[in-house]
Amino acid sequence: MKLIIGNKAYSSWSLRGWLACRQSGIAFEEVVVPLYDEDWDKRREGAEFAPSSGKVPILWDGEAVVWDSLAIIDYLADKVGRDLFWPADDAARAMARSMAAEMHSSFVALRRKHSMNIRQIYPARMPDDDVIVDLKRIMELWAQARARFGGEGDFLFGEFGAVDIMFAPVVTRIITYQLPVARFAVPYMDAVLRHPFMQDWIAGAQEEEWVIERFEQPVG
């Protein structure tokens, strides 16, 4: 398999696809493509990017090609067994799927106003009202998952899985911009950041030399 991703410092969707590949346990080639450099437009026209119209991440598995992080999660779950990604319990799995889908389609204000930048921690400031609404909903989802299905595990449904993969970039955004969260969320975020896969990604981001100025500005 070959996974094409963007800069580890900035590309939240790439992080999700990469975590999914690591979670699968299948060996894969990692190709990092610097976003928005002088060759970006030309590179996106290449055959490897054609199926996704130039978007990353994009996973090639022989002749099979999968783009979009949530699709990559499901493709890999089909290959290696769904229990590596989704809870075995029907009720827990139903909630996990709904949370992953909501993360995929929602929280536009948070994503637009607080872009991912793993290498920075900015001074705290009160977020805009629409971002607060997003954060409140995220806290509600995390609280429900932990209370109903977290058990004694460190993650939303006990063991690290698809939902944690989908919310991992949210955790990094909260840290980067010091956004307000409920007290119960802090141990969960710590568990995500301490996960070996996340540690590897963060180390890779720190080693990158690329800088995209528009993503290096604090909010406000």
Beta strands per DSSP E along 26-180 = 29-32, 58-61, 64-67
Is 220's pLDDT higher than 70? no
> Coil, strand, or helix at residue 108?
helix
pLDDT by residue (tens digit) across 77-109? Answer: 999 999 999 999 999 999 999 999 999 999 999
Cα distances (Å, whole numbers) of residue 157 to 57, 100, 122, 162: 25, 12, 30, 10
Is 40's pLDDT higher than 80? no
pTM for this predicted structure? 0.95
